[in-house]
A and B are shown apart, each in its own frame.
Chain A
Amino acid sequence: MRSKSFGDKPSLGLTLGAIGALLFLHVPLWIIFLYSFTTDEATYSFPLPGLTTKWFGVALQRADLWSALTLSVQVALVATFFALILGTLAAAAVYRSDFFGKDAISFLLILPIALPGIVTGIALRSAIGTLNIPFSYWTIVIGHATFCVVVVYNNVLARFRRMQGSQIEASMDLGANSFQTFRYVVLPNIATALLAGGMLAFALSFDEVIVTTFTAGQQATLPIWIFSQLVRPRDRPVTNVVATIVILITFLPIFFAQRISSQSSDTEGENK
């Protein structure tokens, strides 16, 4: 006796629940986009009194915004640069050999992401304070580099594992030394992982606010600027515009990182 076949068609309730969750995820972002065109200067009133694009122009004039943006970009670039080098070195070490303490090190390289940002933030702050180092651009970078390294490490390690190990042996067998092998065989293989990891790290750093509040001195990155607006809103329309622009800036790199990772995994798989 067979009861009604399960799993061929979703029930109405299930479909509604699914759609509901999707809407819940996306509608708020559309609302921000909408609000960046409002003519209302002082409140978040709905329905919107009118539509205008003038706030985009106003935002572009703001000096404090530009310096916050520049700082965010600088920090993200430098942190990503260090992360690419350190993360790749670590991934290569973990991939190549089993060594004493390997598990501990793999665990260590998960902590910056597994522990809440506030832990990293306060820990760094207390250390910086104890050592009497002044809070500056570099303390921000050091803080960001911790999780950036982890992101690059994970991406590169995953790619190493998908690579045919015998390619490295083949290259050496054909006469290439370690450096030549790295240049002609290893690097092309992990290039897309470096790109994807780098973009991801950039986006994370650009967006980061929790650790940054603890490790910055007087400097304001863009998220810190937004945060101050959230707590004491002064420039609502400009903030709306900034919000929309930030969505785009962080969305694009991560989107491309995803595309690159999935594209290369298709071609890699065929060669196994």
Chain B
Amino acid sequence: MTTPAIRFENVSRHFGEVKAVDNTDLEIRDGEFFSMLGPSGSGKTTCLRMIAGFDRPTAGHIYLYGQDVSDLPPYERDVNTVFQDYALFPHMTIEDNIAYGLMIKGVDKKERIKQVDAMLDLVRLPGYGSRKPSQLSGGQRQRVALARALINHPKVLLLDEPLGALDLKLRQQMQVELKSIQKRVGITFIFVTHDQEEALTMSDRIAVFSEGKIQQVGTPSDIYERPATQFVAGFVGTSNLLSGAVAKRITGSEQMFSIRPEKIHLGAENSKPEKDMLTIDGVIRDVVYLGLFTRYLVEIEGGSDLVVIEQNLKTTSMDVLSAKGQKVRLYWHKDHVSHLGN
């Protein structure tokens, strides 16, 4: 088991009364693309800033490949950041921006130019060296910010919601590019975002944050298919949550569980479920046709509502909309159920 790239040990960050990060432990592995996901104010950005060195933990320690860096200023850490607003220096050319870290280290000019050119190729902006940041578009500036950070060969690269300001098409393009650059360069990337789709697309592992605590850490499929807490179930994708008497009727236990809408099948009123399937009867209350799929709201025995999503493989809009009011039998595989912690 190699030394983790980043390790948090009982790390807390308090701002007066507010616990931005609350007694958190975390391990990020060498070479992985790790995302920190959560709504604003959940503590993910604070954690990132503490790794970078812009914030000091109120309690606890942070280890970078085994070295305690908790008290070190940013310039003493072998970590680089891509900022949300890119933070390019407006009074310097692109070339000087990218070479900044090398210049500080004392690398000579010839070598700097060589490395800058290599970086510009990597981020696909060849020849842009003599321009100024104000002449570049948002997407281009973002790539310059990336180059400026990577040229220093940091042990860990931090990305603070870097794709937030880009439009959808560009964002998707950049997601692919970032992922491929990470694979090529081979260093650990730590990526902060509030967009769960983005996290699911790009990450090797995800940590879901809420209110200063980590709710769950796992691979994208762990997080999605087997959410551990109510928050994760609700934040990542939509989910149905059932507990109490209704839950007991279906699974035999009162413990709350979640089941994803696309995992539920609509069957005819008295159809026979196959083995390993859990089942409950209900009435379709609402139907929304969404082109690719249809979303049903089904009221089940016991009064709760379940959201069911089915792909429109064969039916047309007329067909599905007329399903409103029908009695149905819902069933799903028992392995698709995820029991929740809290």
Contacts and interface: CB of A to CB of B under 8 A. Distances in A.
- Bound together: yes
B112 interface: no
Interface string A153-187: 00000000000101101111111110010001100
A175 B105 CA distance: 7
Interface in B63-112: 73-75, 79-81, 83-85, 87-91, 100-101, 104-105
B133 interface: yes
Contacts of B149: 173-174
B90 A268 contact: yes
Contacts of B74: 169, 172-173
A270 interface: yes
A180 B106 CA distance: 12
Interface of B: 52-54, 73-75, 79-81, 83-85, 87-91, 100-101, 104-105, 133-134, 148-149, 152
A166 to B, nearest CB: 4
Given A176-B100, A268-B90, 16 more contacts: A166-B84, A170-B89, A171-B89, A172-B53, A172-B74, A172-B75, A173-B75, A173-B79, A174-B148, A174-B149, A175-B101, A175-B105, A176-B104, A177-B75, A185-B89, A272-B85
A173 B80 contact: yes
Contact of B104 (A164, A174, A189): A174
A166 B87 contact: yes
A173 B52 contact: yes
Interface string A220-258: 000000000000000000000000000000000000000
A184 B91 CA distance: 10
A271 interface: yes
A172 B100 contact: no
The interface centre, meaning the residue of B53, B79, B85, B91 with most chain A CB atoms within 10 A of its CB, is B91
Contact of A176 (B75, B79, B81): B75
Contacts of A101: none
A11 interface: no
Interface string A261-272: 000000110111
B52 A267 contact: no
Interface of A is mostly: helix
A24 to B, nearest CB: 42
Number of chain A interface residues as a range: 20 to 34
A188 interface: yes
Interface of A: 164, 166-167, 169-177, 180, 184-185, 188-189, 267-268, 270-272
Contacts of A184: 89, 100, 104
Contacts of A267: 90, 134
Nearest to B52: A173
A268 to B, nearest CB: 7
Contacts of A176: 75, 100, 104
Nearest to A188: B91
A164 B133 CA distance: 13
Contacts of A272: 85
Nearest to A181: B75
B73 A270 contact: no
Nearest to B90: A271
A169 B87 contact: yes
A170 B105 CA distance: 15
Contacts of B80: 173-174
Nearest to B96: A184
Contacts of B104: 174-176, 180, 184
A175 B75 contact: yes
Top 4 A-B residue pairs of the complex, sorted by shortest distance between their CB atoms: A166-B87, A170-B87, A174-B101, A172-B74
Nearest to A185: B89
A270 B134 contact: yes
Nearest to A270: B134
A171 B100 contact: yes
Nearest to A177: B75
A166 B49 CA distance: 12
Contact of A175 (B84, B133, B134, B152): B152
A223 B80 CA distance: 56
5 contacts: A164-B85, A169-B54, A176-B75, A177-B73, A189-B91
B83 A170 contact: yes
Contact of A166 (B73, B75, B79, B85): B85
Nearest to B99: A174
A61 B276 CA distance: 111
Contacts of A271: 88, 90, 133-134
For A172, A173, A267, which residue has the most chain B Cβ atoms within 10 angstroms?
Answer: A173
Contact of B87 (A167, A180, A189): A167
A267 B91 CA distance: 9
Given A270-B134, A271-B133, A271-B134, A173 B81 contact: yes
B89 to A, nearest CB: 6
A175 B91 CA distance: 19
Q: Which of B85, B87, B134 has the most CB of A within 10 A?
A: B87
Most chain B CB atoms below 10 A, which of A171, A174, A270 = A174
